[in-house]
Amino acid sequence: MRIVVVGAGKVGYYLIKTLLDRGHEVSFVERDGGRCRRLAEELDILAVNGDGTDLATLVDAGADEAEVVAAVTGRDEVNLVVCQLAKKRLKTKKVVARVNNPKNREVLQRLGVDIAVSGTALIADAIEEEILWQNMRTLLRLRHRNLSLLEVELPESSPAEGRAVRDLAPALPPGCILVALVRGEEVLLPRGSTVLAAGDVVVALVQEGAEEALRRVLQGLERRG
């Protein structure tokens, strides 16, 4: 996945490294020329020295082709402008803003920011939840049991389309149980003979670490780096 990070201070630096470690294609914008050069050499990625609130600078960094723009400077107002430019002018699918003052979170969301969060790990996790795991949501985490309750929507291209639960069972990861099936206004308890269809929403209880395997079985799309 292509991601542009605006602001390469401490938060931006560790966010970039986290996303690179997870296999994403990352570039960044940083106003401090010296820091921009040092990080570009260290990380060996595209770096643009400039102001992220300038549209041309965002384009130079590849924001016009990115799936995500994450603004993580130390100023909430700057992060907001970056996100609005990316969303409205460059039609970026998702924009993410670091919120330095928690009181500003609701305001940023009302003004068009898709994900307004604090903390490097939260930003990286939010990006993956909102973009990478499309049509798949975590409803509940039982951390002391290492279990998650997931909601997965079956796309038109789903390899599970037209297959009965009993035929799908051998492909499901260990520790995975299909709990319910939402079809329109109807909620079904899946049985062996239940046939899945595109548009169905499957609710499943899954052990930690098996989410990707379940997604492949139900959605069939490979994770994009």
The confidence score (pLDDT) of residue 36 equals 97
Q: Which amino acid is at 66?
A: A
Q: Give the CATH number for residue 82.
A: 3.40.50.720
Q: What is the mean pLDDT of each run of 10 residues along the chain (225 residues)?
A: 95 93 94 96 96 97 96 95 96 92 85 81 62 65 76 88 93 91 91 93 89 86 47
Q: Give the CATH number for residue 211.
A: 3.30.70.1450
For residue 225, tell me if it sits in a domain: no
The confidence score (pLDDT) of residue 224 equals 40
The confidence score (pLDDT) of residue 156 equals 84
The confidence score (pLDDT) of residue 225 equals 40
Residue of 109, 106, 66 whose CA lies nearest to 86: 66
Q: Which domain holds residue 208?
A: 136-218
- Output the six-digit token pair for 224: 């994009």
For the chain, the C-alpha Rg in angstroms (whole number) is: 20
